[in-house]
Chain A
């Protein structure tokens, strides 16, 4: 009798552990516009969404690969000063570490309903936390097929932009790319009304091999959302000014401090 009970206990526990660690993953092609006035210039990234029962993680695969390869390069004396190969086709060489579109890592905890957004600005990691905000969706009747999945259309206004999304009826996971959530199925395609931000699922699988390369940022300093957004804006718009605000100078060969004009900045999140 004791043995049977023990057997049932072990079996149940193993099953719970297995189901909790099982990831459902979706790989998205993320196309975005850094300059809102230049619709002809688009940037690309590959984003990974990993979901289990309690949480989800959303991050840039190119950034992870680039960081990992750049760090390997730095540890090797022979290659640490070698030039980086530049261009999106060489993203895995480490260049994406700097070129990556969206180095933000979004972690959503469904148990306490909290979103944690973290980012690394050179050596310093910053982040903010906020509660999950579910958009108000208008679900339409139109359907399309994406990756052999029948998807239904829905629209919303979220974080200052209007979105049209397509969610899979047969995947009952109410998640999606970036912070989009709250539909009866997994969002496989999403775009804002101006097509400045487009997410397209290009691969669906349930393997957890994909998590091997993922490294969360360490020693994250959590600040208010407004402070985080200000740091992100300055870092993206004017690196020289960002360094200057941290007491680091950037001088030309004559010894004068370099002054750079601001670069275009078009954040996906327009909320305060």
Chain B
């Protein structure tokens, strides 16, 4: 049923156990089924919890003794751009997200 190399390896793993051929086959199938299940589960969860790399960061600065805000946007692919200048923190953040959707998406 299985190639010789696999059988040898398998016999080494379970050699210490006094099991019949049928039992060994069953254990082998069970082991690989469990491994496959874990592999698919971890792939699915990676997709779900993949960290969002996009960022919208607002910083304040002084231009001619007036405080203004600029916003730096980082797209998911790492592309970064900065927009300047806004009269408030919230307007910079609004514009940042709007730019994110306009440029990155």
Residues of chain A touching chain B, judged by Cβ–Cβ distance below 8 Å, are 74, 80-81, 83-84, 86, 95, 97-99, 122-123, 239-240, 243, 248-253, 258, 260, 263
C-alpha spacing A42/B55, complex, angstroms: 28
- Cβ distance B90 to chain A, nearest Cβ, rounded Å: 6
Complex contact A122–B52 (CB within 8 A): no
Contact of A251 among B52, B56, B81, B93 (CB under 8 A): B81
Complex contact A80–B102 (CB within 8 A): no
Given contacts A251-B82, A253-B80, contact A260 B102 (CB under 8 A): yes
Residues of chain B touching chain A, judged by Cβ–Cβ distance below 8 Å, are 52, 54-58, 79-86, 90-91, 93-95, 97-103, 105
- Tell me the nearest residue of chain B to A260, going by C-beta: B103
Q: Which residues of A lie under 8 Å from residue B100 when comparing CB positions? A: 98
- Cβ distance A80 to chain B, nearest Cβ, rounded Å: 7
- Tell me the nearest residue of chain A to B53, going by C-beta: A83
- Tell me the nearest residue of chain A to B57, going by C-beta: A81
Give me the 5 closest cross-chain CB pairs, A-B, nearest first: A239-B102, A83-B52, A250-B83, A123-B91, A98-B101
- Tell me the nearest residue of chain B to A124, going by C-beta: B91
C-alpha spacing A83/B75, complex, angstroms: 11
Q: Which residues of A lie under 8 Å from residue B99 when comparing CB positions? A: 239-240, 243, 250
Given contacts A81-B56, A122-B95, contact A253 B81 (CB under 8 A): yes
C-alpha spacing A176/B69, complex, angstroms: 43
